[in-house]
Amino acid sequence: MTYFTARRVARSAMVLAASTAISTAAMAGGHGVDLSGETAEFVIPFSESGGSARWANFYAPLLNEALTGNPTVVVRYRPGAGSTEGANWFQQQTTDDGTLVFGTSGSTQFPYLLGDQRVRYEYQDWQPVLASGTGGVVYLPPELGARFDGDFDDLQDEIFLYGSQGATTLDLVPLLAFEMLGLDVDAVFGIEGRGDGRLMFERGEANIDYQTSAAYIQSVQPLVDQGLAVPAFTYGSLDADGNIVRDPTFPDLPSFREVCEATAGCETEGLAWDAWKAFFISGFAAQKMVYLPGSASADVVATYTNAFEAIIARPDFAELAAAELGVYPQLTGEAARIASDQATNVTPEAREFVLNWLLEAYGISLN
């Protein structure tokens, strides 16, 4: 058990109460701060070529307009170690004046959930002000896409190459899906962002890839339009009853559930499915989140909460977001806090299954 895992267990009830108190105080007692003349840094622990960069750069100019005083909002990149380096850095920050926010994704959440020894950050120390859902699309080169007809039965003899940030990052979701589909996938670990995986695909160094919705819309759809890539499936979305359904941003593409049901040997019930679904929910339903340091005041939290609410309330927001991010929930206030709690917790059974799978498939031991 790592230091931070033990720390979470020991103080979970206390931290949850404190987190709730902070959130309630921020919404009830925060009056906002004026950021005139300031530069606010929106830091993400990834490179500038992936979906998180696209998401952060979508919100940065909107924050510039919505924050009181119209500060200059700039996106900064701190990639490394599957995003844990940047998150470890943010854990140490005590900026309390509203000039620093941090954006995470499932690749930051998964090492935390799995007790990765590189993790020196504690989500419950941070203050969430936005939770963004997203999706993901798996795609193939045209020669393999021509053989995909809704299942992977005809592709079982292929050797796939996949550029990965690491098996304990958000890539856990596609890697486990590939395993469940019975695909022979050789993961090339060490890339700094999903955008680097796309570049491998474009150079012919990988023959299967996925991108989150924002990056797919911006960078992969043009490849599809040129006949250079063929979409296979999305991971799907959750309906009101918690079932995996088609992604509303890509309604013409089958969900992973549909493809799994159509592929021999892939099951949509049982421990593997339950574990995949648990990490899909954690990694995608509230995949990208914006946090302030724990030291930020209630007034600063209120400033960002109000700004994000104003952005989402814009009459053109739905159209802007659909074109850049896809059609997904954008949550603020108490809803963002609840989403953050859900995204940073999985059942012990799902965690244990994934830990065993990581050891057997990749020789990765996190205990």
Q: How many CB atoms lie within 10 A of CB 317?
A: 14
The Cα–Cα gap between 353 and 288 comes to 24
Q: Are strands 184-189 and 159-164 parallel, antiparallel or unpaired?
A: parallel
Lowest mean pLDDT segment, chosen from 4-13, 26-35, 38-47, 236-245: 4-13
Identify the burial level of 347 via C-beta atoms within 10 angstroms of its C-beta, where 0-12 means exposed, 13-18 middle and 19 or more buried: exposed
Structure tokens at 1: 């058990």
- Binned at pLDDT 50, 70 and 90, residue 49 comes out as confident
The Cα–Cα gap between 28 and 155 comes to 56
The Cα–Cα gap between 21 and 301 comes to 13
3-state secondary structure of 83: helix
The Cα–Cα gap between 45 and 53 comes to 9
CATH 3.30.750.24 fits 3-133+283-348, yes or no: no
Residue in the structure block whose two tokens are 């230091």: 3
Comparing 30 with 123, the larger pLDDT belongs to 123
Strand partners, 160: 185
pLDDT in tens, 246-297: 999 999 999 999 999 999 999 999 999 999 999 998 888 888 999 999 999 9
Side by side, the strands of the sheet bearing 100-104 are 72-77, 39-44, 100-104, 288-292, 127-132, 330-331
Is residue 341 a contact partner of residue 145, using CB atoms and an 8 Å limit? Answer: no
The Cα–Cα gap between 157 and 223 comes to 25
Structure tokens at 141: 């080169």
Q: For 288, phi and psi rounded to 5 degrees?
A: -115, 130
Residue 48 DSSP symbol: T
The mean of the pLDDT values for the chain is 90
Fold matches, 3-133+283-348 and 136-276: yes
Average pLDDT estimate for 112-137: 94
pLDDT in tens, 82-106: 899 999 999 999 999 999 999 999 8
pTM, two decimals, is 0.78
- Binned at pLDDT 50, 70 and 90, residue 238 comes out as confident
Residue in the structure block whose two tokens are 């509203």: 98
Q: So what's the pLDDT on residue 8?
A: 39
Structure tokens at 40: 């606010």
The Cα–Cα gap between 186 and 326 comes to 30
Is residue 197 a contact partner of residue 163, using CB atoms and an 8 Å limit? Answer: yes
Q: Domain-by-domain residue ranges, the chain?
A: 3-133+283-348, 136-276
Q: So what's the pLDDT on residue 64?
A: 97
Lowest mean pLDDT segment, chosen from 4-13, 111-120, 151-160, 293-302: 4-13
Q: So what's the pLDDT on residue 280?
A: 93
Is residue 255 a contact partner of residue 246, using CB atoms and an 8 Å limit? Answer: yes
The Cα–Cα gap between 109 and 365 comes to 17
- Binned at pLDDT 50, 70 and 90, residue 30 comes out as low
Q: So what's the pLDDT on residue 17?
A: 33
Average pLDDT estimate for 176-200: 95
Residue 29 has pLDDT above 70, yes or no: no
Q: For 25, how many CA atoms within 13 A lie in the half-sphere containing its CB?
A: 12
For domain 136-276, the CATH superfamily is Periplasmic binding protein-like II (3.40.190.10)
Percent residues over pLDDT 70 in the chain: 92
| Overall residue count recorded for the chain in this entry | 367
Q: How many CB atoms lie within 10 A of CB 89?
A: 16
Lowest mean pLDDT segment, chosen from 7-11, 184-188, 195-199, 301-305: 7-11
